[in-house]
Chains A and B, each alone.
Chain A
Amino acid sequence: NAGVMQNPRHLVRRRGQEARLRCSPMKGHSHVYWYRQLPEEGLKFMVYLQKENIIDESGMPKERFSAEFPKEGPSILRIQQVVRGDSAAYFCASSPPTGSPQHFGDGTRLSIL
């Protein structure tokens, strides 16, 4: 019974490059959430998606960041033209249609050189 799968675990990018983070939800879960944890900070909500729909993206920066959860395949969080301030741990969670409980993946640690 696989849990939430995120990859890669660690990602290093140079300023100006693109970062793609992937998340496969738990089996039977149709809702995906992305959260970001900056160094020494708490987790902050970024975006909430269901299959092919963005439900709430109020926590996602308006520029350079985008997210999708296609009909087939994992959810993708995409960061274009990365900057040093994007360095953080990005956690994906999934839940059943009831919204609870949310289970988290191991996270992707993004480092920007």
Chain B
Amino acid sequence: RKEVEQDPGPFNVPEGATVAFNCTYSNSASQSFFWYRQDCRKEPKLLMSVYSSGNEDGRFTAQLNRASQYISLLIRDSKLSDSATYLCVVNIGGGSNYKLTFGKGTLLTVNP
């Protein structure tokens, strides 16, 4: 089983749609969780951290279910500028080892 597994995608949605990405991780000792976005093979950019209580940042909502080892990202009212690859990222290292493990990414294309 892969350490971090995401929906394979790609997702093609019209502007204004709501889209959800799912991700599972294999190591129950994982400590920190993030969503990054990556545009056209550029550098990954942190979108948001994911907390157990769930968190929201504008149109973006992230959820974490530790029991199911499942992470989600919801994008509401999608914009053309949301088109990118979304990366589910987990810190599996434990303790003070902060290395990140990335999912392969899910490509989102928002169409006019």
Query: Measuring CB to CB, which residues of chain A are less than 8 angstroms from any residue of chain B?
Result: 31, 33, 35, 37, 41-45, 48, 55-56, 59, 89, 91, 93, 95, 99-107
Contacts and interface: CB of A to CB of B under 8 A. Distances in A.
A89 B44 CA distance: 12
Chain A contact residues: helix, strand, loop or mixed: strand
A42 B102 contact: yes
A31 B46 contact: no
Contacts of B45: 104
B104 A42 contact: yes
Interface of B: 32, 34, 41-46, 49, 87, 91, 93, 96-105
Contacts of A93: 100
19 contacts: A31-B98, A35-B102, A42-B105, A43-B87, A43-B102, A44-B102, A45-B99, A48-B97, A56-B97, A91-B43, A91-B44, A95-B98, A99-B32, A99-B91, A100-B91, A101-B49, A102-B46, A104-B45, A107-B43
A37 B104 contact: no
A9 to B, nearest CB: 11
Nearest to A37: B41
Contacts of A100: 32, 49, 91, 98
